Amino acid sequence: MQGSAYAREEALCIEFDVRAGDVEHGGMASSQIKAALKQFGLSEPVARRAGIIAFEGEMNLIVYSDSGGTIRVCVDSEYIEITVQDFGPGIEDVDLALTPGYSTAPAWATDLGFGAGMGLHNMEKNADRFEIHSRLDEGTTISCWVKRRTDDSS
Amino acid sequence: MILHELARRMDLERLVDSQDATHEIETGYVGDLLSHVLASAKSNSLWITIQRHENVVAVAQVAGLGCIVFAEGMRPEAPVIERARNAGIALYVSPASAFELAGRLHKLLHTEAP
Ligand SMILES: Nc1ncnc2c1ncn2[C@@H]1O[C@H](COP(=O)(O)OP(=O)(O)OP(=O)(O)O)[C@@H](O)[C@H]1O
Ligand SMILES: [Mg+2]
């Protein structure tokens, strides 16, 4: 899997296309995102949080999106911004989807250990700021910001 | 404890070696639901699971878990082994159950003086 890198205003970005149903390559984009962030000089705990967010977003694109989607990661002087976007099917009840334990994962995904209903919660928990917008038939966009510097740099 | 010594004393079969001869294991985690692993496993854990498909390598990588032990003889296929080798994740397999493996690990890490 190949990500494309580019500069956006004051930020450096990398973007990956994720294919619907492509579970065989699941986690490839997020592994590369974490490695790139570490190479960029970010600490393990910070790259880890961003990597977990990217992984949960990536797997939701694979399991739920109609036609795949994108993960974009941009780093500026203060934040890592991770944006996960697809164009359908959208989420009917976002609050319900965010509830730990709620899942509509199909059997093939639960057989592989997905479907705990913890993914969106993990994204929210690892982000300093979290936004989700979703409309049925239009799609879902999730944006997460992770501070580059943490007080507990453990 | 150093991974190599732990693996020997837990009687694990090595599939992919660690890239770090002094790879330290601080604690362990047992789980097969990937989002729970990401939520709860601490960095530098030994992760015991019966999931053996490609995605476990990515989970270990993003969560900073340097070693996966497949319980109950759940031997992964070649592409998984290849992915782990490229990612620098150590892999081991054992016929023992997750319960039994966790017991051995816990005993070695927490009840024996170093
Ligand atoms: N991109 C998406 N498009 C449509 N529905 C989604 C999307 N992402 C999540 N959902 C819905 O929200 C539910 C909860 O998602 P979440 O990632 O929290 O858990 P999960 O994917 O079911 O399980 P886990 O992530 O723990 O493996 C999903 O089961 C699905 O119904
Ligand atoms: Mg999910």
CA of B82 to the centre of ligand 1 (A): 29
Per-residue confidence (pLDDT) for residue A154, from 0 to 100: 41
Mutation for B interface: A108, A110, A122, most B CBs within 10 A: A122
CA A147/CA B35 separation, integer angstroms: 22
Do the Cβ atoms of B88 and B68 come closer than 8 Å? no
Angle between helices A119-126 and A44-64 (to 10 degrees): 150
Per-residue confidence (pLDDT) for residue A2, from 0 to 100: 75
The tens digit of pLDDT for each residue in B5-49 reads 999 999 999 999 999 989 999 999 999 999 999 999 999 999 999
CA B62/CA A79 separation, integer angstroms: 18
The tens digit of pLDDT for each residue in B49-80 reads 999 999 999 999 999 999 999 999 999 999 99
A116 lines ligand 1 (CB under 6 A): yes
* A4-147: CATH superfamily: Histidine kinase-like ATPase, C-terminal domain (3.30.565.10)
Q: Which fold has domain B3-110?
A: 3.40.1390
CA B89/CA A112 separation, integer angstroms: 19
- Show me where the domains of chain A are located: 4-147
A120 lines ligand 1 (CB under 6 A): yes
Give SS3 for B20.
Answer: coil
The helix (H) or strand (E) run that includes residue B9 is helix B3-9
Ligand 1 atom with minimal separation from the A61 CA: 1
CA A35/CA B59 separation, integer angstroms: 13
Whether the CB of B36 is below 8 Å from some CB of chain A: the reply is yes
Predicted TM-score of the model (pTM) = 0.95
**What is the DSSP annotation of chain A?**
---EEEEETTEEEEEEEE-TT-GGGTTHHHHHHHHHHHHTT--HHHHHHHHHHHHHHHHHHHHH-SS-EEEEEEE-SSEEEEEEEE-SS--S-HHHHHSTT-----HHHHTTT--SS-HHHHHHHH-SEEEEEEETTTEEEEEEEEESS-SS--
The label of the residue with tokens 């990588």 reads: B61
The arrangement of strands across the sheet holding A4-8 comes to A4-8, A11-18, A69-75, A79-86, A139-147, A129-135
- Show me where the domains of chain B are located: 3-110
pLDDT average per 10 residues of sequence, chain A (154 residues): 78 95 96 96 97 98 98 97 97 98 97 97 98 97 94 50
CA B70/CA A59 separation, integer angstroms: 22
**Model confidence at B113, in pLDDT bands (50, 70, 90)?**
low
Do the Cβ atoms of B66 and B44 come closer than 8 Å? yes
Please tell me which of the candidates A28, A48, A113 has its beta carbon nearest to residue B34. A113
Do the Cβ atoms of B47 and B29 come closer than 8 Å? yes
Q: Please identify among residues 55-84 of chain A the ones whose CB lies closer than 8 Å to any CB of chain B.
A: 55-56, 59
Q: Please tell me the distance in Å from A33's CA to the nearest CA on chain B.
A: 9
Beta strands in chain B (DSSP E): 13-16, 27-30, 45-49, 67-70, 90-93
pLDDT at B112 over 70: no
